[in-house]
Structure 1
Amino acid sequence: MESNLRKIIHIDMDAFYASVEQRDHVEYRGKPLIVGGSPHSRGVVATCSYEARRYGIHSAMPASMAHRLCPHAIFVKPRMDVYRQVSRDIMSICKAHTDLVEPLSLDEAFLDVTHHRRGMASGTLIAREIKQQIYEVTGLTASAGVSYNKLIAKIASDDHKPNGLTVITPEKAQAFLDAVPIGRFFGIGKVTEQKLSLLGVHTGSDLRRLSREQLIQLFSDRGRVFYDLVRGIDPRPVLPNRIRQSIGKETTFQVDMDDIDDMLSQLMLLAQTIEQQLRNRSVTGRVVVLKIKFANFQQITRRTTTHIPVQSAQDIYDYVQSLLNQVYIDTKVRLLGITVQKLESAQDPLVQMETGEQLTLF
C-alpha cells in the first residue's frame, strides 16, 4: 500500500457461535449445527456451522424453516457467557497490535494498523499474525480483509471465508468493487437492493454508471454516500471508543398473543433486560422504539423521543405502553421488541443531574 494511505484490517470470526460449540463438543464437528431456536419453536437461527449453510440455512432464519431444510441438523442453545469470554481474548489480541480497535460485535472488529506497536510496515503480515494468534489462543479461525479504508476491508474479509485473508490495494480497489453485488455495500439493505435491481443495477459497476444527481434523486442524501462508496471513497476513521447507537431486545412467542395485559407483561420483561444492558454500558437513550410483528408477518414500529435520557425499566416501559396504546390491534401478535436509540454516556454531568432527580415521565 502507498505510505500516505491508512492500513485498515477487518477481523471477522468464522461462524463464531457455532465454531465455539464445535470446538468444545467433539460430537458436533463436521455436522450441520444450528445455534439458537429449536426445531419446533418460534425462535430464529443465531448462527450456524458451514456444514449447515450448505443446506441454505442462514442467520435470522426461522428455526422451523431451518429444520425443514435440514431435518438432521443439531440445535443447541447459545452460551453467551462463553462467547463473551472468547471475544475478550480476541479483542485483547487485536489491542496488542494497535490502540485503534473498533469492535462491531463480539466476533468482528476494525483495526487501524497504520502505526503498528512494533513498527511492522505490512498490513498483510499484521493480519496474518493476528489470525495465527487468535487460532493459538482460542482454537478458532478468523477471516481478515486488508485495505486502505473500512468499506473495502469489510467487504474483503468476507471474500474467502472461512479462514481467509484478502488484501485489496488501491490499484485493485476499483476492479474489486465493480464486481461486488450491491447488497454487500454499506447502507444498501434489502429494500434499496430491490429498488436498484428494478433499474438493472446488480453490481458495483452497474451502480457506478449512475451519476451523483441520479443517485441523489433516488435516495436523497444517501445517494451521495453510495456515489462515494462505489468509488472506494470512505473517510470514516476507526473509532476505538465508539458507543453503540442502539440497544434492543425482542421476543417471539410460542403461541400468538392477543391479550393486551399479556403483551404489557412481556414488554416489562424486555424493558428490564434493556435496563441491565444500558447500566452495564453506562449509557442512557433518548429514543424508544416499539416493534410489533403480527401473526400474518406484517411488521410495524412506533417511536418516541424522550424528554430526558432514559435508563430505568419503568421509564422505558411507560413509553412503550404509551406507544402500544396508539396501535390498533385487530389480529394476534407474534413478536414484540423494544429498542433504545440515540445513546449517550451516563457519566455526562447533565445526564447525571437529570436522571438523579428521578423526574416523572409526565
Structure 2
Amino acid sequence: MKKIVHIDMDCFYAAVEMRDDPSLESIPLAIGGSEKRRGVISTCNYIARKHGVRSAMATAHALRLCPNLTVIRGNMMKYKEVSQHIREIFSRYTDKIEPLSLDEAYLDVTDSELYQGSATLIAEAIRADIARELRLTASAGVGPVKFVAKVASDINKPDGICVIPPNAVDDFVKTLPLEKIPGVGKVTLTKLHKLGLYTGSDVQQFDKAELIQRFGKFGHSLWKRSHGVDDREVETHRERKSVGVERTLAADVKTEAQCLEVLESLYTELEKRLCPVLADRKINRQGVKLKFSDFQQTTVEHRQDQFNKTAYPLLLKEALERQQGRGIRLIGLTVGLAPKTAENREQLSFDWG
C-alpha cells in the first residue's frame, strides 16, 4: 500500500507578499494584472476570498466585488526562489517528488523510515519546516493514492492536514462531491448532474458502460476515482505535454479578420518556444483556444504530425463557430507534444508555411 502526501501552499504568491510586507496582512490582497489592461487575478489572500474574489477572475470584476482590494503584480523570480527552498525541504524526506506547480507537489513516502514510516508525521514535519524556515503555511493531504491525497489537502485549508487511511477511502469517495475530483469542470459537472450523478456513490451505482460511452476516457477515469482507484505513480520526471502562447486582448474582438491579426502576432513567440523543444520531440496536435467575453472558453484541436502554421486559420474558423455573438477577450495557440521515444530523438524539422 502506497503512502502519498500532497502538499499545497496556502495562497502562495499572496502569502509571500504578506510575509515580506506585514502591512498587507490585514487587508484584502490579490496578485494579478491591472484592470486597465484587462488583467486576471492569479491568486488572493483569504480576506479577499471572503468577498468572492477567486483565481482566474478578471481584475475588474474582483474590484467590483471588493472595492478596497489591493492588487499587485507578482514577482515570479522571488516565488521561484521560495519554491526551490520548499523543494529542498521535501528532499529531506523522500526523493520521490512530483512537482505540479511552484506551490504544490506529490510526495511518495512509502519507503521512508523517518518517523517510524508514518506518512502523517512526515507531512506534519514538512509543514513545520516550511513554517519555521520560510514563515509560510502549507496544507497537506495524506492517502494511499494520489487523487485522494490531493482532494484531502484542500479539506482543512488553510494551514491544516487531512489524513485518509486505506480503510477509510471507500467511505470518503462515496460522499465525495464530484466537483471535488480533479478534472471535473463546470461543463462536465452539468452533464453529470443531468444524469443524476452528484457524489462518488452515485457513480458507483451507475452503469459503467454507459458512463464510458457518454464520457469516453474521462468516464473510465471517473469510474475508477469514484471507487477510490488511482494507479498513477508519483512521477519524478514529467515530460512536457504541450507548448502554447496566449494573449489577453486590450479590448474584445469579434471578427475573424481581427482574430487573424492576433494569430499573426503570436506566431513569433510560439516559434521561439517551440524550436528548442522540437530538437528531440515530435508533435501530435495543434490547437486554437478562445476565451469569450463571458469568460467561457473553447479549444479546437486537430491531430498533426508536423507543425504547419497554415493550420491555425482553419482551427480558428472552427472555433469561431462556437462564438454565438460573443466578444473574444483571449486568443491562444497550442502545440501538443508526443511522448519521447527512441525513434524521435533524432533532429526534427517543422514547416512554418
TM-score (norm 2): 0.87
Aligned counterpart, 2:301:
303
Asked whether the equivalents of residues 142 and 164 of structure 1 are also in contact (C-alpha less than 8 Å), the reply is: yes
C-alpha distance in 2 between matches for 1:231 and 1:328: 39
Cα displacement (A) at 1:193: 0.8
Q: 1:293 aligns with which of 291, 294, 306?
A: 291
Give, in whole Å, the separation in 1 of the partners of 2:143 and 2:202.
23
Residue identity matched to 2:285 = V
1:250 and 2:246 correspond: yes
Q: Select which of 153, 157, 181 maps to 1:157.
A: 153
TM-score by length of 1: 0.85
Instruction: Quote the RMSD (CA, aligned, Å).
Output: 2.9
Within the candidate set 323, 328, 334, 2:329 is matched to: 334
Contact 2:115 2:122 (C-alpha < 8 Å) held by counterparts: no
Q: Secondary structure at the match of 2:228?
A: coil
Q: 1:256 to 1:134 in 2, by over 3 A?
A: same
The residue identity in structure 1 corresponding to 2:266 is L
User: 2: CA distance between counterparts of 1:118 and 1:298?
Assistant: 47
Q: Which amino acid aligns with 2:312?
A: V
Residue 233 (str. 1) matches residue 229 (str. 2)? yes
Residues 255-276 of structure 1 show CA distances to partners (whole Å, capped at 9, x for unaligned) of 2245356414431354256448
- Which segment is superposed worse, 227-236 or 240-249? 240-249
Q: Any residues of structure 2 matched to 1:1-362 within 5 Å, and which?
A: 5-116=1-112, 118=114, 120-257=116-253, 259=258, 262-268=261-267, 270-271=269-270, 274-275=273-274, 278=277, 285-295=283-293, 299-308=297-306, 319-320=311-312, 323-324=315-316, 333-344=328-339, 350-355=344-349, 360-361=351-352
Q: 1:207-248 CA distances to partner (integer Å, 9 max, x unpaired)?
A: 222132342343234333222211111111111001132233
Corresponding letter in the other structure for 2:69: A
CA drift at 1:63: 1.2
Looking at structure 1, the residues matched to 27 and 193 of structure 2 have their Cα atoms a distance apart, in angstroms, of 36
Aligned-residue sequence identity (percent) comes to 37
Where structure 2 has 5 or more consecutive residues not aligned to the other structure, the ranges are none
**2:280, 2:344 within 8 Å by CA — same for their partners in 1?**
no
Q: Greater CA deviation, 35-44 or 121-130? A: 35-44
Please report how far the alpha carbon of residue 350 of structure 1 lies from its aligned counterpart in structure 2 after TM superposition: 3.5
Please state how far the C-alpha of 1:295 moved relative to its aligned partner.
4.8
Tell me the distance in 2 between the aligned counterparts of 1:72 and 1:277: 44
Distance of 1:185 and 1:82 partners within structure 2: 31
Name the CA distance, whole Å, in 2 between partners of 1:55 and 1:115. Answer: 43
SS at match of 2:117: coil
Amino acid at match of 2:270: A
Deviation sequence 1:292-337 (CA, Å, 0-9, x none): 33557674433344434x6xxxx7x565356447776997642111
Contact 1:96 1:117 in 2 (8 A): no
Equivalents in 2 of 1:17, 1:62: separation in Å?
Answer: 17
Asked if the contact 1:291–1:299 (Cα under 8 Å) also holds between the matched residues in 2, the reply is yes
Give per-residue Cα distances to partners, 1:119-155, cap 9 Å, x unaligned.
7410001101111112222221110000110011011
* Greater mean alpha carbon deviation, residues 176-185 or residues 70-79: 176-185
User: Residue type matched to 1:42 in 2?
Assistant: R
1:87-114 Cα deviation digits (max 9, x unpaired):
1111121122112111111111111101
Check 1:206–1:250 CA distance in 2 against 1; reply closer, same or farther (3 A cut): same
How many aligned residue pairs are there?
347
Structure 1 residues 87 and 296: CA distance shift in structure 2, 3 A: closer
Q: Where in structure 1 are there 5+ consecutive unaligned residues?
A: none
2-side partners of 1:277 and 1:253: how far apart? 27
Q: Counterpart of 1:82 in 2: which secondary structure?
A: helix
- 1:348: Cα distance to partner? 6.1
Q: Which amino acid aligns with 1:70?
A: C
